[in-house]
Chains A and B, each alone.
Chain A
């Protein structure tokens, strides 16, 4: 099988978020760039699929030079080769253009059976690029798959389970298809030392913007930047919610114990009724 994984790099959102001086973006100075955590699940699912059915795993990623590090990480986990759509000047690119460009490079790379993407990127958090790639390619997708139940390459179909609001659903989908991955569908492996060594030698194809053929896919160099976007960020705020922080503790040690338990429970109920007015 030919298995593709669309992998992105993201800012590590565990860190404190600061707004840049322009007021319409997040200050990335000093922020760590990591493989998008959801994409780790996508890479793992792809490698497991290859281990079961044979074939190859190809990573596709778009972004500036720094994303090569993330691509190498995916190769070290066990992917076979990668395509890097490279340009440093697209910080204002919108999701639509990202999906379109990635889909067009996928088309050029030949036949494939299945594509895995993350459910969303944790910095921008749009959660739309995966579905848009499927639409551009004219293939079916199943989003937010909690479990790939079965892939049958001979019959050209896959069975996936997804959790829906108030229940769950099992979907049979024809291959080729695209699957978007939430967390917890598998346990992403760490790259082993030999894996990291091998990754350095695996094929990585660079596609500069000039080679994309923007006009053929209805874009212009302009439409990749802020000027041609469909949606742009005009302001970004980092709200500080002031919490009351009224924490009831024990006398001798932090934990309430013995008789303190009853009075703590009573005090909390009172606060919720009289101060917060929520019960």
Chain B
């Protein structure tokens, strides 16, 4: 085992690096580097990704391993699994981290099984013991509990980390770039991406947003969701929804926040016509400030929010939005 701590870059559909990568680099530097006595390194897997090495350096990566391969142009499970497993076997890092995105969830457990590592998912804290064992905290039991998980004698120690859990702090380095050739046999690729579509949106992404406005079943229609979008746009917020709203067809599935959907922990979460189910709270219960607008005084959400108005959203939201707008335009 070397003493290196690796952060595998999480790429967006457009090929840019996801924020969670920088957060993980910073946190690895702050919490793990001294304990393991090794450098924090970035890993780039993809096609035409070498040019991104400098960005990882900006957040403290001292080395960047790069695998350039046409088969990695779009994310595909087997390609990523092969490439990362080969790198791990060759260089034997102590710790390997990536974001708990849809992609991270898809290939990290498989890589761990392949290289014989221990793995945890969706960490909200990372740390290490004095004898160089990774120790993380995560959520369990529909996010009602927080277990601390300690890694035992298997290397490397791998974990995904929840986006928006750590601060990305610039710490500019000029990383040494190490190009690694990995052969990926096309015959080993048994999943083929036949369509990949980015949603056109100028709004921030849910998992990265500082503020989130969310709508529930009480919105009543897709058309009525405009009230949520309007408020969100004034606040520069991302827009989320409950499963009931998604099921009813008011908005697309990728807006779902909760146990199944996205996990968010913004500074401000505004829940509009949302009852406050356990499953919804599993995805937003750690938000700093929760605001509820609901017409039912008995709605469970009023037992677990900071501020709220008991009222009809169609009465309350327009004047609330107008006031937020005028306040923000003054400052």
Contact = CB atoms under 8 A, between A and B. Distances in A.
Interface of A: 11, 13-14, 17, 19, 24, 26, 38, 94-96, 99-100, 119, 122-129, 131-132, 134-136, 139-144, 146, 159, 162-174, 177, 182-184, 229-239, 241, 243-250, 254-257, 261-262, 264-266, 268-269, 271-273, 276, 278-279
B107 to A, nearest CB: 8
Interface residues of B, number: 98
A231 B194 contact: no
B205 interface: yes
B181 interface: no
B243 interface: yes
B167 interface: no
What is the interface of chain B mostly: helix, strand, loop, or mixed?
mixed
B177 interface: no
Given A143-B105, A279-B268, 17 more contacts: A14-B142, A123-B141, A127-B122, A128-B121, A131-B106, A131-B113, A141-B191, A164-B103, A166-B254, A167-B199, A168-B196, A169-B193, A170-B196, A183-B243, A255-B312, A265-B322, A268-B291
B109 A278 contact: no
B289 A276 contact: yes
B145 A237 contact: yes
B316 A256 contact: yes
Contacts of B196: 164, 167-170
A237 B143 CA distance: 11
B207 interface: yes
Contacts of B109: 95, 127-129, 131-132, 135
A234 B267 contact: no
B303 interface: yes
A225 to B, nearest CB: 12
Contacts of B304: 241, 243
What is the interface of chain A mostly: helix, strand, loop, or mixed?
mixed
B316 A237 contact: no
A255 to B, nearest CB: 5
Interface of B: 12-13, 18, 75, 77-78, 81, 101-103, 105-110, 112-114, 117-122, 135, 138-152, 154, 190-199, 201, 205, 207, 211, 235, 243, 246-247, 252-254, 256, 259-260, 267-268, 278, 285-286, 288-292, 295, 297, 302-312, 315-316, 319-320, 322-324, 327-328
A17 B145 contact: yes
Contacts of A100: 113
Smallest CB-CB A-B distances: 3 pairs? A230-B118, A128-B109, A254-B297
A41 to B, nearest CB: 10
